[in-house]
Amino acid sequence: MITVSVCMIVKNEEEVLGRCLESLQGLADEIIIVDTGSTDATKQIAASYTDKIYDFTWIHDFSAARNYSFTKATKEYIYVADADEVMDEENRQRFLLLKQNLLPEIEIVQMKYANQLAFNTTYNFDVEYRPKLYKRMRSFRWVEPVHENVFLLPVIYDSEIIILHMPISNHAGRDFETFQRVIKKEGKLSPKLYEMYARELYIAGEEKDFAEAFDYFEGFAENEECTERERKIYECVLAKCSRLSKDFNGLMKYSLRNIADGKGTAEICYELGEYFKEIGDYKEATIWYYNAAYETECELNIHYAGDYPLKRLAECYRILGNREQEDAFQALSEAWSIENTR
């Protein structure tokens, strides 16, 4: 049977930490808690489950904190948990079975991360595989009988273990501050963080967050060398920024750029629907909401091609006095929500 170190970084998690650690009882051979500055009872709760509690001065870098937690682990494998995760009994048993039977050559185990859409997180899938269990010490080996080389790709196993994500608050504000801090320090974001910034804006951003992001994404609009993916993303962000700030010319500019290649996005169509709804042209609004729901795909937030435009269609048809269409789209909106968040 393999041994497992649970490594966690925490800050002010008193409301959820006990729930998480209780679900890991009997699975972990040691629990490493790295606290980045809690001012509540987080460390006292952690002390009920482990004596391996370490302080780490927060430097606005989650990777640095996680790397530090890994240096404290001593077991064969490291399981990375967040305080707002829970493992139910069925999946606890799956985890125990995995510990008993995991082949030594496996270096990463992926588990199903579930319950995403129900809590308005930054992901467009309710269930997705994520790497959760890592072999602490990796062995390198040579392969090929001739022209030999060191095998570098990790051996990954997709398990059936399901981790329930059950946050009680949204961390978007913290994340937006971090994005802006990286931009000021480095001058740019990595391609991954560029997309995550835009996605989080469209999922949890408020008007002030879009206003603060405008200059950075506008810089990409002036860059002729950006990729098509980067272009689609900045068009979505800048179109919404423009609508929120009542900049009609900006809304039209970025929306027209987006749909000119025949591959318009659901977010852009939805923003156009919002504009026409706001000025009272409900018939025109229904055209764009319909395009968002049925004729385009989402770029950043799955809801913009699903329940959001369907709900707006119901609202517009109610105002237009078409009860049959109102009821139909309201039912479709509710059905979409049930199907995609269960």
- How many CA atoms are closer than 13 Å to the CA of 220, on its beta-carbon side? 24
For residue 60, the SS3 value is: coil
Given CATH 3.30.30.60, say whether it is the number of domain 264-342. Answer: no
| Residue the block writes with tokens 């835009």 | 198
* pLDDT at residue number 225: 80
For residues 58 and 69, give the distance between their C-alpha atoms in angstroms, rounded to a whole number: 13
* pTM, two decimal places: 0.79
Question: Beta partners for 86?
Answer: 164
* Tens-binned pLDDT, residue by residue, of the chain (342 aa): 999 999 999 999 999 999 999 999 999 999 999 999 999 999 999 999 999 999 999 998 999 999 999 999 999 999 999 999 999 999 999 999 999 999 999 999 999 998 655 555 555 556 889 999 999 998 888 888 877 899 889 999 999 999 998 887 666 678 899 999 999 989 889 999 999 999 999 988 999 999 999 999 999 888 778 888 899 999 999 999 999 999 999 999 999 999 998 889 999 999 999 999 999 999 999 999 999 999 999 999 999 999 999 999 999 999 999 999 999 999 999 999 888 765
For residues 323 and 21, give the distance between their C-alpha atoms in angstroms, rounded to a whole number: 51
Domain 4-165, architecture per CATH: Alpha-Beta Complex (3.90)
For residue 40, the SS3 value is: coil
* pLDDT at residue number 173: 72
Q: Which one, of 332, 92, 301, 70, lies nearest residue 202 by Cα?
A: 301
Q: Which one, of 155, 70, 75, lies nearest residue 109 by Cα?
A: 155
Residues 159, 77: contact at Cβ < 8 Å? no
Helix, strand, coil proportions of the chain in percent (round to 5)?
Answer: 50, 15, 35
Q: How many CB atoms lie within 10 A of CB 17?
A: 26
Task: Give the tokens for residue 266.
Answer: 């659901």
Residues 78, 133: contact at Cβ < 8 Å? yes
Q: How far is CA 207 from the centre of its chain?
A: 20
* pLDDT at residue number 101: 96
For residues 160 and 91, give the distance between their C-alpha atoms in angstroms, rounded to a whole number: 8
* pLDDT at residue number 114: 86
Task: Give the tokens for residue 268.
Answer: 């852009």
